[in-house]
Amino acid sequence: MTNAIETDAFLAHPPAKVWRALTVPDLLASWLMPNDFRAEVGHRFTFRTDPVPAQGFDGIVHCEVLALEAPRLLRISWVAGGIDTTVTWRLVPEGAGTRLFLAHDGFDEDDPGQQATWRVLGGGWRGHLVRRLEETLAALT
């Protein structure tokens, strides 16, 4: 069986602006991690952050763009530190803003290491990353 992180947040910005923050590499880096992302299905890229050797994480997240439907859906693979998962962002217009849904799927619920990663990433997706995304969006014109 697998576990997923699922969250949603209302962002007081139009979908096109949120889409930019998800798909323009420098903007994506400002709230998530430095990357070599390209908005192109099949593009393989990496996110880079601080290693956590005790968790078997070298600081590199290997990704591939799996689906891209501007400005409403972005799905990527997310492989790092012993996990092989998928992250999906869905953007839904809501009033003058956007409801951003996130699903990070594929954590093995029988693997203690993956469950520890699930807890850490879940806190990030629900907490400081949403705040950082909001800050990035607020700075955009």
Domain CATH for 9 = 3.30.530.20
Q: What is the pTM of this model?
A: 0.94
Domain that holds residue 12: 2-139
Q: What is the β-pairing status of strands 44-48 and 2-11? A: unpaired
Determine the pLDDT at residue 120. 87
What are 56-109's pLDDT values in tens digits? 899 999 999 999 999 999 999 999 988 999 999 999 999 999 999 999 999 999
**Number of domains into which the chain is organized:** 1
Q: Which residues pair with 136 in a beta bridge?
A: none
Write out the two tokens for 22: 């998800």
